[in-house]
Structure 1
Amino acid sequence: MEYYDVVKKRRSVRKFTDESVPRESLERIAQAGLDAPSGLNLQNRHFVIVDDPEVLARMRHMTGSMATSPAVIV
């Protein structure tokens, strides 16, 4: 896939279903973030995957877009 195609197909999601996201998919997304280039090659990124419903419930006040998400990567 060409870069332009990726940019044109990109979408923002603001409403979520209650369908869970497979942990493997979340880990792959986080790994893609770690594999991406960094300024001055600092590579100073850390990600935390949150998919525990109790933890998500306590985090919901942080942002409205998280209100219905089944998982977040912070």
Structure 2
Amino acid sequence: MTTTKESICSGRPKICDIGCGQGELAYRLSDLGTKVTGVDLSENLSVYARNHRKASLYFFCIFSIFKCHRKMRQRYA
């Protein structure tokens, strides 16, 4: 039987941490060797996570993505 760490880290999987908050889980998962992207509704928490976690982690605010998409659609409509 494999441990959780062994099963998570086999083949360096990519994980999307939805509702990542300050990025604590994303940070711990990346320490296990995974590629992690964090997504949260709060722009403040996404900015905090981006500024206080590893440079190899990516954090996004989902509302910022929607706002950008909406602006692009309006611009090119």
Tell me if TM exceeds 0.5.
no
Larger RCO of the pair (alpha carbons < 8 Å, separation 6+): 1
With normalisation by structure 2, the TM-score equals: 0.27
